[in-house]
Structure 1
């Protein structure tokens, strides 16, 4: 008996409990359990016997196979099955996604969170999903399509569907897809819709160019009041793209709490623009990620000045591999301000900060801030 079968046997025993009518389980997570189509079929069969309580199901990183996806789809079509969160990260093929989305379309009103990340849906699979998104009964709040082999065509289909039904979605993750010019343009048009009240937008590694970033940030500037989390990491924004983003950051209507600009080809010039923008609107941001940008010591000096502002209540600052050699200005800011009342994480790993490292350690030793320097944590 191979390992997969052993795992399926364990799932089979679990299912005995699931089908017991006294079981009122609301959350079931079987992520990365070496389950195959047999195990998935057993789970769905058990839930068919007792469908009314479960609200969250996570089968991510299991090989569900055709029969597993088919049985899951049959379960999703059951009107008594009122699932709110479904996580299928790294589970299905494009062909299987068509079966799944057809099931979701038949019973869309309960689902609030859907994660189909790391599946090779392609534009065809995404297009079929869009039939669900545009349904007026669909009230999805969180949609994650990270690394789904989507191009500008798929992105355009998603944004078009959401334009038809814009008022519910609060989180959208399209990271690691190549959105292209038309994809970015259509996404930007959607972001300008006052009915679209997105709070979290993740576009990590989407091959967004400096020129495309200008279109995107222009859209964000026109409707900035809802967004709380923005991840543009691993895109070639450059200093020019970052500068345009800063027009959003300094807007008094912008209440962004988490900003991630890791590996965006920014230098100290871009960092200066970011800190200048945040000085104009300092009170909301709680997390700032500038990892893997060549900020240098002048960039850190600008950040240090920002930390002196009593209205700036940053909790997490990430400066991994930023070409920093001297953190004395940062140490001085932390010593002479109230920043350490708020700062919980400071990452300076992979910077050659030499002798100034020890003084920073000493300053943070009695605080609640976790310091990462090289591979050590304090």
Structure 2
């Protein structure tokens, strides 16, 4: 067969284009506006056409193209063969044979390879067949629609043949060819939807992903002759539908473009949801058929019965006999718009989406068949993905009125029943914590497009604050709709989610309405950061949590540039892969004239002394309003403490709390701090030095701070430092000063002794001590040491409200003193006794005293 004949066969094929079936391959190729689709091979994304050509040049020259319906497989194959006939590609092949699996399924009996080729409409002369046999490496077989072939290609169930002239069944010939037994050296290109037969094919497998966003834009520009209309249609689709997987299918894009063009030409508003789109699709199809209202209603009800049958039994098609039982007799000439014929009188819907949509419409038209919402959904949940979406949309008058004009009245009982079910099931779902069910509820509300319904269902008692995890783009769309309907809210928590530019475009309106925005444990893309900053700046957001994200210095710089006029009060940057390079940008935010930032959290970032010094310089500015700074584990040392001390005494610093946990500040660093803490301009109230490499040598300087009349510290955490007995006793001397302001003191695991506990007990009883919270846990002093605390607790001058003596080696012997102290105390609210050597014998006495003391709130 000459190349020109092959080309004519492709280009002059019957144009089977329908609004649901997609544009025919011949039409696409003839128009000169072919847009290649994207394929995935291993971990790479490539143009499908290029990937096929590369695969056909490999050692095993078999390429298997796998993708869902309408993803562009058939058109790509036809375009490849057409380009071969024009001499534009694959010129190492002298013969290319193009087959449809569904046509080969009709072949009965046995035949040889030459006959099989002839039956494929290739009138190949004997001399050419000899050339095929002699040079099989110059032959390419193109097989399309493997999923429509009902016979197995498993080579183990066939007696494979290597003889070109030996008659065999078609399935045996195909298995022999694809396994390499017959015409060894030939190349094969196979296209299919996912099917079990794929596992019997060797070679390169390509996953067809369809159109990416840029390819969709090219497709829309090709479809619309008017550039403005193309841009309007494309942007609208991306905003309302582009987050659905099926938007990658060229066939679906053809449907959308066709409907959008019809709506734009008629001056009609474009649809806002998937349900609204399919309302317009059905309206267009019904109007095109020019049927009476009764016939249109009958057709849709018959389609609904067929859809129910297929979805319930999870069959993709129905036989002619089954079709007759659904009531199509009077509308057989009208079904082509909805159904396609495959195989021997097998009928199937052009897409599963229209299948589910007509079933949803039938539900509201036919109360006698579909009387119960929950039963309806349960019967079809195995095969339906969007049925409840469509039912939710169609339950609203604004969406079903167009259909009522053509099909007659929807059942008010069905609408009422659906809404009652939806409201009760949603309220139940939102009281629980199944996040996927929450998202499903949001999707249904989005399809309904009823703001009043959102406010009825998502009342605060029915919708506790939930951190939304692993959000897909379509989940973000539904969530954003719900939040914008509700108006200003307190908190949005999103975690473990990839935040692309598209994600932030969708969520930006919600972010602007929220006081607290949490994007923790997220993978944040650079392109999304300006949109986030803009949403925060334009809205009411006061707290932004980006902790445990991959933010990094570059993206933080972009964020800071957009936060110059924000009302942000708290910024959480814990574990964000930051270094000293970002601190200049943060300093710029802190010193801007409009800055409202009061709390900055930066735990586990390698900013070091260089970065921290930049933040200290910012605190000299009168514009800086920073009150709390948390920088645990940030590689700080004593080298930056002079700069910090200078900022505290500048007269401009508003810092009240600093957390240096797990930074090696050391005794020399604390010495620099203590000088500042004794200055009248220093107003620091909370200093946390947990695990800062301190020894008893620093306690003399801290004692001087306690003794200073200018000391403003009310909280000091020295936990996990080796202060020892000598150092701790020096602290106690300072604590005895009558006006010492310390109210919270943490000395967890500081190598304290019973002598220190005795002195602490003395401090608590002296009548001037202000300590309300005391942590002395993980110091092994036993009953003897802690007895000094029980004596203090019993003293009327003791103001303790919290006491932690976990892991101090207490035994049952302390219980009598403990209970006596609790009976005599009226201030203690929380007592921590965990991980001591108390036994069951201690429980009754402790329980009894807890019953007696109404002031005690918590005993651990």
TM-score category of the 2 structures, normalised to the smaller one: 0.7 to 0.9
Q: String of CA shifts for 1:262-298, please: whole Å, max 9, x gaps.
A: 1112111111111111211366322211011112122
> 1:331 Cα deviation (Å)?
2.5
Query: What's the TM-score, normalizing by structure 2?
Result: 0.38
Distance change >3 Å, CA 193–CA 223, structure 1 → 2: farther
Distance change >3 Å, CA 277–CA 224, structure 1 → 2: farther
Distance change >3 Å, CA 167–CA 95, structure 1 → 2: closer
Paired with 1:300 and 1:12, the residues of 2 have a C-alpha distance of 62
> 1:345 Cα deviation (Å)?
2.9
Q: Give runs of ≥4 in structure 1 deviating > 4 Å.
A: 3-8, 336-340
Higher helix share: 2
Q: Is the CA contact 1:287–1:314 (under 8 Å) kept in the aligned structure 2?
A: yes
- The answer for the alignment partner of 2:540 in structure 1 is 24
- The answer for the alignment partner of 1:33 in structure 2 is 549
Superposition pairs for residues 1-378 of structure 1, below 5 Å?
7=522, 9=524, 12-13=527-528, 15-20=530-535, 22-48=538-564, 50-51=565-566, 53-91=567-605, 92-107=607-622, 109-165=624-680, 168-223=683-738, 226-281=741-796, 284-309=799-824, 311-328=825-842, 331-335=844-848, 338-347=851-860
Distance change >3 Å, CA 201–CA 122, structure 1 → 2: same
Paired with 2:646 and 2:745, the residues of 1 have a C-alpha distance of 27
Once the two structures are overlaid, the 10-residue window that deviates more, 36-45 or 240-249, is 36-45
Q: Is the CA contact 2:752–2:779 (under 8 Å) kept in the aligned structure 1?
A: yes
Query: What's the TM-score, normalizing by structure 1?
Result: 0.82
Paired with 1:336 and 1:208, the residues of 2 have a C-alpha distance of 35
The CA RMSD measured in Å over matched residues stands at 2.6
Q: Is the CA contact 1:257–1:287 (under 8 Å) kept in the aligned structure 2?
A: yes
Q: String of CA shifts for 1:225-273, please: whole Å, max 9, x gaps.
A: 5322111111111101111111111122223221111111211111111
Q: String of CA shifts for 1:33-73, please: whole Å, max 9, x gaps.
A: 2321232122212102x24x222212111112344333222
> 1:217 Cα deviation (Å)?
0.7
Q: String of CA shifts for 1:140-170, please: whole Å, max 9, x gaps.
A: 2112111111111000011112222465222
Secondary structure in 2 matching 1:155: helix
Secondary structure in 1 matching 2:678: helix
Q: String of CA shifts for 1:18-41, please: whole Å, max 9, x gaps.
A: 325532322222222232123212
- The answer for the alignment partner of 1:357 in structure 2 is none
Q: Is the CA contact 2:657–2:687 (under 8 Å) kept in the aligned structure 1?
A: yes
Unaligned runs of 5+ in 2: 1-42, 44-496, 501-521
Paired with 1:197 and 1:102, the residues of 2 have a C-alpha distance of 22
Distance change >3 Å, CA 5–CA 131, structure 1 → 2: farther
> 1:16 Cα deviation (Å)?
1.6
> 1:127 Cα deviation (Å)?
2.4
Q: Is the CA contact 2:626–2:654 (under 8 Å) kept in the aligned structure 1?
A: yes
Distance change >3 Å, CA 312–CA 38, structure 1 → 2: same
Paired with 2:817 and 2:709, the residues of 1 have a C-alpha distance of 34
Secondary structure in 2 matching 1:268: helix
Higher RCO, 1 or 2 (CA under 8 Å, sep at least 6)? 1
Once the two structures are overlaid, the 10-residue window that deviates more, 281-290 or 239-248, is 281-290
Q: Is the CA contact 2:648–2:682 (under 8 Å) kept in the aligned structure 1?
A: no
Once the two structures are overlaid, the 10-residue window that deviates more, 18-27 or 242-251, is 18-27
Unaligned runs of 5+ in 1: 348-378
Q: String of CA shifts for 1:97-150, please: whole Å, max 9, x gaps.
A: 233323333457522111122111111122222221121121321121111111
- The answer for the alignment partner of 1:374 in structure 2 is none
Q: Is the CA contact 2:815–2:846 (under 8 Å) kept in the aligned structure 1?
A: no
> 1:343 Cα deviation (Å)?
3.2
Paired with 1:282 and 1:326, the residues of 2 have a C-alpha distance of 32
Distance change >3 Å, CA 11–CA 306, structure 1 → 2: farther
Q: Is the CA contact 2:766–2:797 (under 8 Å) kept in the aligned structure 1?
A: no
Q: Is the CA contact 2:706–2:740 (under 8 Å) kept in the aligned structure 1?
A: no
Secondary structure in 1 matching 2:774: strand
Q: String of CA shifts for 1:165-193, please: whole Å, max 9, x gaps.
A: 46522211111112334421111101111
Q: Is the CA contact 2:582–2:611 (under 8 Å) kept in the aligned structure 1?
A: no
Once the two structures are overlaid, the 10-residue window that deviates more, 334-343 or 259-268, is 334-343
Paired with 1:268 and 1:98, the residues of 2 have a C-alpha distance of 46
Q: Is the CA contact 1:166–1:196 (under 8 Å) kept in the aligned structure 2?
A: no
Paired with 1:264 and 1:225, the residues of 2 have a C-alpha distance of 24
> 1:96 Cα deviation (Å)?
2.0
Once the two structures are overlaid, the 10-residue window that deviates more, 285-294 or 67-76, is 67-76
Paired with 1:327 and 1:96, the residues of 2 have a C-alpha distance of 55
- The answer for the alignment partner of 1:370 in structure 2 is none
Q: Is the CA contact 1:36–1:63 (under 8 Å) kept in the aligned structure 2?
A: yes
Paired with 1:337 and 1:78, the residues of 2 have a C-alpha distance of 53
